[in-house]
Amino acid sequence: MNNFNNSQNQKQYSSKSNKKKRLTQEQVRLLEASFNGNNRLEPERKLELAQELDIPPRQIAIWYQNKRARRKNQSLELDYTALHMRLEAALTQKRQLEKEAQRLRLELQKSQAEILRKQQVQMLQPQPPLVSVSSISSNCDEVRSSSLHEDQVNCSWMHDEALRVEEFYACFMAANGSNFN
C-alpha cells in the first residue's frame, strides 16, 4: 500500500511541476526578438531568458524548437506555393503549345493535300515532248554568234540536259530579240 501512495504522490507532484504557464504577450515578444537575432539557443542565453522572463529554461528551449519547426513549415509552404504557381504556368504554356502544334499539323496536312492534288492534276495534263540539248546545239551556236554576249543570255536550255520545246523557243526568241514564224 505504501508503494501505491508513493506513486500517487509522484503523479500529483509531477503533474503540478509539468504544468507550463502560458506565455504573456510581452514574453512572446521578447522571445521573438531573441529568436530573430539567433534561432539557435546557447545555454547561457537560455538561462538569461529564463531569469528575465521568469519561466523554466526547458520551456524556453521547447519554444525555440517549436518556433524553428513553424518557420520551416512556413518556408515549405511558401516553396510549395511558388512551385505550384510555376507548375500552373508551365501547364498553361504546354496547352498553348499543344494547340499551336495541332494547328500547324492541320496546316501541314492541308498543304500536303494541295501539293498532292496539284501533282495529280499535272499528271493528267498532256506533257509537251522534251528536246535534248544535242538536237539544239546548232541553234545554240546561232544565238552565241548573234550581237548579244553570252553572259547576257540566261536561258535554262544552255545548262540543262533536257528542255521543253516551249521554254527553248521562248529563250531563243528573247536572246535574238525577234520573232520567227
Encode pLDDT of 140-161 as tens digits: 555 555 544 545 555 554 555 4
Q: Taking the CB of residue 49, how many other CB atoms lie within 10 A of it?
A: 21
Q: Give the sign of the dihedral formed by CA 109, CA 110, CA 113, CA 118.
A: negative
What pLDDT score does 41 carry? 86
How far is the C-alpha of 157 from the C-alpha of 163, rounded, in Å? 6
Q: Give the sign of the dihedral formed by CA 80, CA 86, CA 87, CA 88.
A: positive
Give kind and range of the element (H or E) at residue 164.
strand 162-164
The predicted model scores a pTM of 0.44
∠ CA 128-134-136, nearest 5°, is 65
Higher-pLDDT residue of 36 and 131 is: 36
